[in-house]
Amino acid sequence: MAVGQCDFPNMLNVKGITLGTACAGIKQTIKDDILVIQMTEDSTCAAVFTQNAFCAAPVHIAKAHLAHQPRWLLINSGNANAGTGEQGMQNARYSCAELAKVTGGHAQQILPFSTGVIGQPLPVAKLTAALPLAIKNLQIDHWELAARAIMTTDTFPKGVSKTISIDGQTITINGISKGAGMIQPNMATMLGFIATDAKIEQILLQQCLSVAVEQSFNRITVDGDTSTNDACVVMASGCSSAPEITADSEHYAIFAAGLMDVCKQLAEAIVRDGEGATKLIRIVVEEALNDEEAVRVGKTIAHSPLVKTAFFASDPNWGRILAAVGRSGIEDMVLENVQLFLNEVCIVRSGGRALDYTEEAGQQVMNEEEITVTVKLGRGNAIQEVLTCDLSYDYVKINAEYRT
Return d(Cα 112, Cα 88) in angstroms, integer: 12
What is residue 404's predicted lDDT score, i.e. its pLDDT?
60
Return d(Cα 58, Cα 344) in angstroms, integer: 46
Domain residues for 121?
A: 17-272
**Per DSSP, which regions of 256-310 are E strands?**
280-288
- Whether residue 6 lies inside any domain: the answer is no
- Whether residue 371 lies inside any domain: the answer is yes
Question: What CATH number did the domain enclosing 28 receive?
Answer: 3.60.70.12
- What does DSSP say about strands 191-196 and 17-22: parallel, antiparallel, or unpaired? unpaired
Q: In this structure, are 116 and 257 located in the same domain? A: yes
Q: What SS3 state is found at 274?
A: coil
- Last residue within a domain, chosen from 256, 272, 288: 272
Q: In this structure, are 157 and 299 located in the same domain? A: no
Question: What CATH number did the domain enclosing 390 receive?
Answer: 3.10.20.340
Q: What SS3 state is found at 144?
A: helix
Return d(Cα 72, Cα 54) in angstroms, integer: 25
Q: In this structure, are 306 and 157 located in the same domain? A: no
Q: Considering all CA atoms of the chain, what is the largest pairwise distance in Å, rounded to the nearest integer?
A: 72
Number of domains composing the chain: 2
- Whether residue 2 lies inside any domain: the answer is no
Q: In this structure, are 196 and 143 located in the same domain? A: yes
What are the distances in angstroms from CA 345 to CA 287, 316, 364, 373, 388? 18, 11, 10, 10, 20
Return d(Cα 341, Cα 349) in angstroms, integer: 9
Share the mean pLDDT of the chain: 93
For 304-360, how does the pLDDT look when each residue is reduced to its tens digit (9 = 90+)? Answer: 999 999 999 999 999 999 999 999 999 999 999 999 999 999 999 998 999 999 999
For 179-210, how does the pLDDT look when each residue is reduced to its tens digit (9 = 90+)? Answer: 866 656 665 457 999 999 999 999 999 999 99
Q: Which of 84, 189, 221, 374 is catalytic?
A: 189
Q: In this structure, are 243 and 392 located in the same domain? A: no
For 208-253, how does the pLDDT look when each residue is reduced to its tens digit (9 = 90+)? Answer: 999 999 999 999 987 666 667 788 999 999 999 999 999 989 999 9
Q: In this structure, are 215 and 71 located in the same domain? A: yes
- Last residue within a domain, chosen from 244, 272, 300: 272
Catalytic residue list contains 21: no
The predicted model scores a pTM of 0.93
Q: In this structure, are 62 and 110 located in the same domain? A: yes
- Whether residue 40 lies inside any domain: the answer is yes
- Last residue within a domain, chosen from 248, 272, 296: 272
Q: In this structure, are 263 and 385 located in the same domain? A: no
Beta carbons of 197 and 234 less than 8 angstroms apart: no
Q: In this structure, are 236 and 297 located in the same domain? A: no
Q: In this structure, are 172 and 189 located in the same domain? A: yes
